[in-house]
Amino acid sequence: MTKALISIDYTYDFVADDGKLTAGQPAQAIENSIASLTQKAYDNGDYIFFAIDGHDEGDTFHPETKLFPPHNIKGTSGRDLYGELADVYEAIKYDSRVFWMDKRHYSAFAGTDLDIRLRERHVTTVVLTGVLTDICVLHTAIDAYNLGYDIEIPKSAVASLTEENHQWALNHFEHVLGAKIVD
């Protein structure tokens, strides 16, 4: 079984107190776990994909424009990885097993070559970490399920805007997508 950890949107805009679309404290509370799990995956020889939301300033055509304030604008510090995860990334980013992928939609699979890259590397299991549990992590999990991947969700490494939405998504992962919830 070959694994890939997919780190989703753990950026300044989604995590910092003054981030543009922040989950705040719940997202900050997973900082150590997400960094530790990423380092452990790297040490285990797993592939690591940083799937990071990237929007164009002033893009009025993107559907999120009607739903959320501008966030993760390309060329801004809002797209920088947050906290300890930024340190882990800096230490491993030049390894051939580590990838940075810009994404424009909720799912890390939508409009990217993630599926191709995973299949080339014979990945069968994806480990999803990051934010927001009920939006980008959820949509990535749904696409992973539909593409036939086994899914693991470390519950200590995902967070959302509300505890209610977070718990709903965890339940959905396990009971609808057959994901293994770990921790």
Give the list of residues 6+ apart from residue 19 with CB closer than 8 angstroms, or none: 11, 12, 13, 71, 78
Residues of the chain with pLDDT under 70: none
Counting DSSP H helices and E strands in the chain, the numbers are 7, 7
Alpha helix (H) residue ranges in the chain: 12-15, 25-29, 31-43, 83-92, 114-120, 138-146, 163-175
Report the predicted TM-score, pTM, of the whole model to 2 decimal places: 0.96
CATH of residue 144: 3.40.50.850
Instruction: Please give the pLDDT value at position 36.
Output: 98
Instruction: Please give the pLDDT value at position 62.
Output: 80
- If one counts the domains in the chain, the total is 1
Tens-place pLDDT, residues 156-165: 999 999 999 9
Instruction: Please give the pLDDT value at position 67.
Output: 86
- Tell me the residue range of the domain where 10 lies: 2-182
Instruction: Please give the pLDDT value at position 46.
Output: 98
Angle between helices 83-92 and 31-43 (to 10 degrees): 20
Instruction: Please give the pLDDT value at position 30.
Output: 98
